[in-house]
Amino acid sequence: MNKSVVGQKRLPGDLAIWIFILAELTVFAALFIVFSVSKSLNVEMFAEGQATLHPLMGLINTLSLITSSFFVAKSVLFASQGQLAKSAQWVWIGIATASIYIVTKFIEYQSLMALGYNLRTNIFYTLYFFITFFHFMHVLMGIVILIVVANKARKGGYESDITGVETGASYWHMVDMVWVVLFPLIYVIK
Amino acid sequence: MKFQSQSAAMPYFIFALALFVGQIVFGLIIGLQYVVGDFLFPEIPFNVARMVHTNLLIVWLLFGFMGAAYYLVPEEAETELYSTKLAWVLFWVFAAAGTLTIIGYLAVPYATLADITGNGLLPTMGREFLEMPTITKVGIVVVALGFLFNIGMTMLRGRKTVINIVLMTGLLGLALFFLFSFYNPHNLALDKFFWWWVVHLWVEGVWELIMGAILAFVLIKVTGVDREVIEKWLYIIIAMALITGIIGTGHHFFWIGPPEYWHYLGSIFSALEPIPFFMMTVFAFNMVSRRRREHPNRAATLWALGCAVMAFLGAGVWGFLHTLAPVNYYTHGTQITAAHGHMAFYGAYVMIVITIISYAMPIMRGRPNGNSRQAQTVEMWSFWLMTIAMVFITLFLTAAGILQVWMQRVPESGQALSFMATQDNIALFYWLREISGVIFFIGLLTYIASFFVKGDAVEVAE
């Protein structure tokens, strides 16, 4: 009964997840504001800190998350056409693409920590490590949600109602959207 | 009542309310001692009365939570309680231990109490809110283990609902974090650091799960809204409570020695702690407006709605007021903290326990449709008396706190008023607070009285 109808205006996914997404975005917004304000107060420290980051790895992560989001969107499309096996397949491909992010992020943390940078070095690294790790935890949580969705889709759980697929996908888009703001803010903007 | 064994909750609720009365009596005593310093001296010194006031609060809330669990877990699991006998035995153990501890506080000097209870073997006493003797703490652990076993076995045997799982998670967390009260390092910074793992992670962490679960249970019962809808809300509320509350512990780490980054983490995450409370308010009103039936126990619905609103105001708004590090630099440990503490505890935890008592007690007393109209009217009077009195207590303490910050904290050193001179200047607000306290006490007595009001049995309007 809840199948997506193109052109019809309605909220994809569950209302509850949207409240949660808004609350999560508030948390990230607060973190970004604190980062920006601290940056304007410590211009040199932040420029030096930014120079030690790896923008290429950041770019790889951006591509990994956006591509993964695209695959998950494809899966919603298949689900709305009732092709649940295909839908599950694309969710798994999305998860696989997102794992690139996890590996890259690990390498990045390791190389920074090998150079002796950590949460306590200065405000820049406090915020860098905290904000990116907090986002990292959200990627893990998003993946857990997607695994649940993929499993249920494979078992044909969304035959009459695809709200669950849309709910998982909405959360997943939030995770990559936050990264799309995070990446330029922390890695790129001088 | 669906299951006979749910009545194990009854002694817990009754004892909780008795301790509540004791707590308020001692609250009135220390409120008066603020302005009449030698009142009841040397029989009941301020520090002892304050200890009794705060410890009674914690213990009666624990009784309330346990009673709530004994009532709602069997109903949710759709099975009898694993062991009613165990629930009764633990009740008497806990009640005896609690009573003996309070008598100990009042009868002998604290140092003597520490001596005779063998604090020297495993020193855990002397820390705010965790003043109880080590043997009492061990007793609490034993009671908690037995309780969790009883509730856990009941859950495993029956239907597994989200409400039960969330409640159980909260209760397990409560027991787990209490264990940090046994860790008492010599380093004062470390001691304070882990002390907050009990105090903060209780009230701003796992207790919120317990509160959410009880609120969800009562809302299902009084509104008839689908379980699925209510469970969904419960999930996102507790997720948000944990996301903000756990790292929010940092707002206690500003000035006690941990690394400076806690200024950032503590400020940001605790500034967001009002969100789950706000969601609870939206949730409660939303469910009541979507109700599928007019539950005849209107008093219980009133308590549930009031709880959500007052928790948001007390814990959310009044917490936010002084949680940012640059603000807290000036307000730390002033009457603003006391204002927040009073309204937050009343709004979130006192009211949620009264909500479940208000819903469950009539059923256990053989009135499935709630108390008589007359009794409910008295109960609703007590709701407004206590709640409005608490709002005034909070406002007067906030005013006292703002003046205190202004006179004692803001001026450059040398120009600032001394602590005692400041206290003299804000005495008026302490008097006003004491008057509000008396009204609160009248409200509480009215509430107790409502249990004895007879009247016509309520018919269900279908």
Homologous superfamily (CATH) for B240-451: Cytochrome c oxidase-like, subunit I domain (1.20.210.10)
User: What residues contact A93, with CB distance under 8 A and at least 6 apart?
Assistant: A71
Query: What is the average per-residue pLDDT within B436-447?
Result: 98
Q: Do A34 and B261 touch (CB under 8 A)?
A: no
- Residue A20 CB contacts under 8 Å (≥ 6 apart), including other chains: A171, B236, B239, B240
The residue among A5 and B253 whose pLDDT is bigger is B253
- A122–B contact, CB cutoff 8 A: no
Q: Can you tell me the distance from the alpha carbon of B169 to that of B451, in angstroms, rounded to the nearest whole number?
A: 32
Instruction: Check pLDDT > 90 for residue B39.
Output: yes
Judge whether B104 and B134 are in contact, CB under 8 Å.
no
Residues of chain A with pLDDT under 70: 1-8
Q: What pLDDT shows up at residue B211? A: 97
Q: Is the ipTM of this complex over 0.85?
A: no
With an 8 Å Cβ cutoff, is B271 touching chain A? Answer: yes
Q: Which of A24, A140, A161 to mutate to test the interface with B (most CBs of B within 10 A)?
A: A24
Per-residue pLDDT at B79 exceeds 90: yes
User: Which of these, B267, B373, B283, B277, lies nearest to B321 by C-alpha position?
Assistant: B267
Please tell me the predicted confidence (pLDDT) of residue A2.
47
Q: Cβ(B352)–Cβ(B215) under 8 Å?
A: yes
Nearest CA in chain A to B235: A16
Give dist(CA B416, CA A172) in Å, integer: 54
Which residue of chain A has the CA closest to B231?
A16
Check A126 against B264: CB less than 8 A apart: yes
Could you tell me which of B247, B251, B313, B250 has the C-alpha nearest to residue B280? B313
CA distance B28 to B440: 10
Hey, is the C-beta of A141 within 8 angstroms of any chain B C-beta? no
Q: Which residues contact B302 (CB under 8 A, 6 or more apart)?
A: B380, B383
> Which 32-51 residues of chain A touch chain B by CB within 8 A?
34, 38
Beta carbons of B265 and A23 less than 8 Å apart: no
Give the CATH number, domain containing residue A47.
1.20.120.80
Q: What average pLDDT score do residues B338-355 get?
A: 98
Q: Which residues of B touch A34 (CB under 8 A)?
A: 264, 268
Locate tokens 């906030």: which residue?
A: B398
Q: Is there a domain that residue A87 lies in?
A: yes
Domain presence at residue A2: no
For chain A, the domain total comes to 1
- A-B contacts (CB, under 8 Å): 43
Q: Tokens 């007590």 correspond to what residue?
A: B382
Chain A residues closer than 8 Å to B243 by CB: 24, 27
Burial of A3 (0-12, 13-18, 19+ CB in 10 A): middle
- The mean-pLDDT minimum among A118-127, B51-60, B307-316 falls in A118-127
| CB atoms A123 and B261 under 8 Å | yes
> pLDDT by residue (tens digit) across B104-153?
999 999 999 999 999 999 999 999 999 999 999 999 999 999 999 999 99
Spell out which residues of chain B touch residue A31, defining contact as CB-CB under 8 Å: 268
| CB proximity A11 to B under 8 Å | no
Q: Where are the domains of chain B?
A: 240-451
> What is the percent of chain A where pLDDT is above 90?
78
pLDDT at B455: 87
Q: Give the Å distances, CA to CA, from B97 to A53, A74, B59, B93, B100.
A: 58, 62, 11, 6, 5
pLDDT over 60 (residue B219): yes
Instruction: Give percent above pLDDT 70 in chain B.
Output: 99
**pLDDT for the residue numbered A7:** 54
pLDDT of residue B462: 46
pLDDT tens digits along B387-425: 999 999 999 999 999 999 999 999 988 899 999 999 999
State the nearest Cα–Cα gap between A156 and chain B, in angstroms.
Answer: 20
Which of B232, B261, B269 lies nearest to residue A126, judging by beta carbons? B261
What's the mean pLDDT in B25-29? 98
A4 domain residue, yes or no: no
**What confidence score (pLDDT) does residue A190 get?**
84
Q: How far is A105 from chain B (nearest CA, A)?
A: 22
Amino acid occupying residue A42: N
User: Is the distance from CB of A17 to CB of A171 less than 8 angstroms?
Assistant: yes
Spatial separation of the C-alpha atoms in residues A39 and A127, rounded to whole Å: 10
Q: Cα(B340)–Cα(B69) distance, rounded to whole angstroms?
A: 27
Instruction: Please state, rounded to an integer, the average pLDDT across all residues of chain B.
Output: 95
Rounded to the nearest angstrom, the minimum Cα separation between A72 and chain B is: 22
Q: Check residue A8 and give left, alpha or beta (phi > 0: left; psi -120 to 50: alpha).
A: beta
Domain extent at residue A170: 15-188
> Would A136 be classed as within a structural domain?
yes
For residue A59, being part of any structural domain is answered with: yes
